[in-house]
Structure 1
Amino acid sequence: MQTVDINHVIDRDKLSPLQWLVFFLGFLVFFCDGLDTGIIGFVAPALLDDWGITKPQLAPVLSAALVGMSIGAIISGPLADKFGRKKVIVATTLLFAIFTIMCGLATSTQDLMIYRFITGIGLGAAMPNISTIVSEYMPIKRRAFLTGIAGCGFMLGISCGGILSAFLLESFGWAKVIIIGGVIPIILAVFLMLKLPESTQYLVKKNKTQQAQGILEKIQGHPFADNVQFKLATAEANTSDESPVKQVLGKYFWGSSMLWLCCFMSLLVFYLLTSWMPTILKTAGFSTQQFSLIAAIFPFGGVIGAVIMGWYMDKLNPTNVIRYAYLFAFILFIITGFVSSNFILFGISLFLIGALLVGAQSSLLPLSALFYPSTCRAVGVSWMHGIGRVGAIIGAFYGSLIFTFELSLSGIFYILAIPTVISFIALSIKVISEKSKDKQEINTQELA
């Protein structure tokens, strides 16, 4: 009987059509996730005017989705390990699509808050699981780069939400703009149901050999011998029979805790800016088209940053690449505070912050996928994302306080520099910890 390591089939020099399909579908899920995540922030100024409500009254609506995202991310990891990545991805994509449409039909802040909460559950569950399945289909030499590019769909989705708002908001109104954002992922969910393959690592762990064999044969382009047995790489196998949750909270706890802290602080800044930037800029005197386009510059910069970081992550220490991005983002936040009165310099600084901060945030998903073995990857990635979402919730609430304290535009950016440098410190501690662990393993081997 032939024994085949499934990673040897996946680690090809040239991606197969099936691998490109997984990459493309993953990119589209990220895109729709970003579109439906960010669109409420872009339509917020029009919503405030239409309903005649105050900014603090809108804060629970903006944060409701973030609470749902945190819950969705945390529960989706164990669900994906039990029922499969594909089923969770399809179900949650449908969930956030349907309730995004419901948001466009809402007639009160209470209804809108409930619909955004349920939308958030779908959004939070879909992202870490699509990141996991994309990473598991990409060759190891280009895994971080390709997974990072797929993740760029999230920032592009947010940017497209700004573009839609800039050109359709005044003509069609905020409700129809939101409904458009919900129709697109419904169409995508049908394609996911028909075309997205299940994770081969998951299928092998669940002893679904025939399904795994059919997928792997499509990747390599020819059938296996009649008798074939599949195995995971040694690093991917769970020799202790521990549950995925026990692995994350045991062997991988220290690295996990630093990833949680970094993601928490990063998402606090990211969601404060994406949720409230259009309203902040409108308050500062920008027109509807101006604040929509300027706010779209921020996540679009992250697309470029994520591509560059993903390329370097495959060639250098991936944690080092991301932590230095946070350090430079911290410096740029300070600089932006000084140039906030200059429109051109402000726009350039905002773009560069997006490239560093949003690029680093996007790269945390492939970083965590690289950090965990497949036996606990779904739980590890989704828990990092879920705990990080708590920072997003705080960021959304803090955004409403900006107007209460009447902070200047420069003052806002000075304050946002603080959580950014904490992200840098968290990843620095993770690097030091990993170096210490490597030295201990080398010493142990030498003594043996």
Structure 2
Amino acid sequence: MKTIEVNDIINRDKLSPLQWMVFVLGFLVFFCDGLDTGIIGFIAPSLLTEWDITKPQLAPVLSAALIGMSIGAIISGPLSDKFGRKGVIVITTCLFSIFTILCGFASSIGELTFYRFVTGVGLGAAMPNISTIVSEYMPAKRKAFLTGLAGCGFMLGISSGGLLSAYFLDNLGWAKVIIIGGLIPLALVLVLVLKLPESTPYLIKKQKTAQAKRILETIQGQAFVGDVQLVLPKSEQQGEDSPVKLVLGKYLWGSSMLWLCCFMSLLVFYLLTSWMPTILKTAGFSTQQFSFIAAIFPFGGVFGATIMGWYMDKANPNTVIKISYFLAMLLLIVAGFVSGNIYLLGVTIFLIGALLAGAQSSLLPLSAIFYPSVCRAVGVSWMHGIGRVGAILGAFFGALIFAYNLSLGSIFFVLAIPTFISFVALWLKGMKERPVSAPAQANAVVNESAR
């Protein structure tokens, strides 16, 4: 019987139609996740006016989804390792789409807060798992770039929420805008059920080799000749330690630094995405102006994540993202000085988005590369879940901004501090690791597969 390692087929130079399908579906899930995550921030000014509520009263609505995201991300990793990536992705995408639609029918703060919380559970569970399955289908030499490129859908989704609000909010109202945001991922669920394949490493670990064999035959474009035994590379095979034990044991230092980096990064990211429209409106910007500038921030992340993904496959991935956080910190300081000029502020916000939002998006492929498949789902989802606590604090800190009457420039100065901490966390992570470039990592995987 011939033994074939999964990576021998996955790491082909040319992506198969099935691999492209996984990439496209991953991009679309990220897009819908970003759309439904960010849209609440864009409709917040209209919600304040229509319901005649104060900004602090709105804080629970903005933070409810973030709390749900943290819970969803943390519990989804073990569930994904037990029941499969695809099932978790389909169910959670359906969950966040349905409850986003229900948000449009909410009639009170309490009701809207509950709907946003359940929406958040789905959003938080879907993102790390779609990132994991995309990374598992991408060839090693282009894994960081393609996984990061799929993750750009998240930033594009947030930006689309801003554009949707800018053009339809005044005419349709906030309720219809958010319902539209929920209908889009609901249509995607059927496509996921029909077209998204299950993770082949998961299928092999669960001894569902017949299903894994059919997927790999589709990727290589021909059936296997004779009897074959599918195996994972030695570094990916299940040992005695559970996924949770590996993350909290062998990979604890790197995990801790990823958690700290993601925590601080999401604190800044969600403070800006959740409160920037309201902050800019308070500073005197019009509806179209604050929607446009707020949309520029995540849109810059699309460019940043794409460029970073390319460099992550050419150089040390940790170093690429580390430098991006440092440059983002410097630009936040610059934004504090140019906040009075709408044109300079717009350019600076775009560059901050390219670096900060791009780096945040690139943390998912970085963590997928860092962990082996045996604990990848747990490692990636826990980084995202613990990092979401920073997002929760970011939403609450937005309310404090108005309580202390901080100026627009002062807000940017303050946000430079957690961005610097993200840089330090990745620097400390790199200090404990043997310097290795992404090509060397890819070659190591290929070489391991060849044995």
- Range class of TM-score, shorter chain: over 0.9
Tell me what 1:445 maps to. none
Q: What are the equivalent positions in structure 2 for 1:315-326 lying under 5 Å apart?
A: 315-326=314-325
Q: What are the equivalent positions in structure 2 for 1:223-372 lying under 5 Å apart?
A: 223-239=223-239, 241-372=240-371
SS at match of 2:14: coil
Partner Cα distance (1:106, 1:88) in 2:
27
Q: Is the 8 A contact 2:205 2:238 kept in 1?
A: no
Q: What are the equivalent positions in structure 2 for 1:62-141 lying under 5 Å apart?
A: 62-141=62-141
Letter aligned with residue 197 of structure 1: P
Partner Cα distance (2:184, 2:339) in 1:
36
Task: List gaps (5 residues or longer) in structure 2.
Answer: 438-451
Task: List gaps (5 residues or longer) in structure 1.
Answer: 439-448
SS at match of 1:4: strand
Tell me what 1:145 maps to. 145
- How far residue 234 of structure 1 moved from its aligned partner, in angstroms, is 1.5
Partner Cα distance (1:290, 1:422) in 2:
31
Q: Is the 8 A contact 1:100 1:181 kept in 2?
A: yes
Partner Cα distance (2:133, 2:369) in 1:
12
User: What are the Cα deviations for residues 42-77 of structure 1, in whole angstroms up to 9, with x where unaligned?
Assistant: 000000000000000000000000000000000000
CA root-mean-square deviation:
1.0
Residue-pair matches, total: 437
Partner Cα distance (2:220, 2:131) in 1:
22
Letter aligned with residue 133 of structure 1: I
Does residue 202 in structure 1 map to residue 202 in structure 2?
Answer: yes
State the identity %.
Answer: 73
Q: Is the 8 A contact 1:305 1:360 kept in 2?
A: yes
Partner Cα distance (1:368, 1:376) in 2:
11
Change (3 A) 1:223 1:116: same
Partner Cα distance (1:245, 1:423) in 2:
24
Partner Cα distance (2:62, 2:380) in 1:
24
Partner Cα distance (1:399, 1:38) in 2:
15
Partner Cα distance (1:170, 1:420) in 2:
34
Change (3 A) 1:223 1:132: same
User: What are the Cα deviations for residues 328-349 of structure 1, in whole angstroms up to 9, with x where unaligned?
Assistant: 0011111111111111111111
Tell me what 1:4 maps to. 4
Letter aligned with residue 20 of structure 1: W
SS at match of 2:374: coil
User: What are the Cα deviations for residues 1-51 of structure 1, in whole angstroms up to 9, with x where unaligned?
Assistant: 010000110001110000000000000000000000000000000000000
Partner Cα distance (1:344, 1:178) in 2:
29
Partner Cα distance (2:435, 2:349) in 1:
37
Tell me what 1:44 maps to. 44
Partner Cα distance (2:15, 2:431) in 1:
35
Letter aligned with residue 65 of structure 1: A
Structure 1 runs of 4+ aligned residues shifted over 4 Å read: none
- How far residue 436 of structure 1 moved from its aligned partner, in angstroms, is 8.6
Partner Cα distance (1:238, 1:330) in 2:
40
Change (3 A) 1:174 1:231: same
Partner Cα distance (1:217, 1:425) in 2:
45
Q: Is the 8 A contact 2:333 2:412 kept in 1?
A: yes
Tell me what 1:396 maps to. 395
- How far residue 419 of structure 1 moved from its aligned partner, in angstroms, is 0.2
Letter aligned with residue 86 of structure 1: K
Partner Cα distance (1:96, 1:253) in 2:
31
User: What are the Cα deviations for residues 206-255 of structure 1, in whole angstroms up to 9, with x where unaligned?
Assistant: 0000000000000000001231101111111133x211000000000000
Partner Cα distance (1:247, 1:352) in 2:
37
Partner Cα distance (1:182, 1:162) in 2:
15
- How far residue 314 of structure 1 moved from its aligned partner, in angstroms, is 0.4
SS at match of 1:198: coil
Q: Is the 8 A contact 1:60 1:113 kept in 2?
A: yes
Q: What are the equivalent positions in structure 2 for 1:183-202 lying under 5 Å apart?
A: 183-202=183-202
User: What are the Cα deviations for residues 91-134 of structure 1, in whole angstroms up to 9, with x where unaligned?
Assistant: 00000000000001000000000000000000000000000000
Tell me what 1:158 maps to. 158
Letter aligned with residue 3 of structure 2: T
User: What are the Cα deviations for residues 309-333 of structure 1, in whole angstroms up to 9, with x where unaligned?
Assistant: 0000001000000000000001111
- How far residue 437 of structure 1 moved from its aligned partner, in angstroms, is 11
Q: Is the 8 A contact 1:2 1:225 kept in 2?
A: no
Q: Is the 8 A contact 1:149 1:306 kept in 2?
A: yes
SS at match of 1:3: strand
Q: Is the 8 A contact 2:2 2:227 kept in 1?
A: yes
SS at match of 2:266: helix
Partner Cα distance (1:36, 1:398) in 2:
21
Letter aligned with residue 60 of structure 1: P
Letter aligned with residue 14 of structure 2: K
Does residue 171 in structure 1 map to residue 175 in structure 2?
Answer: no
TM-score (norm 1): 0.97
Partner Cα distance (1:84, 1:237) in 2:
17
Letter aligned with residue 301 of structure 2: G
Q: Is the 8 A contact 2:316 2:436 kept in 1?
A: no
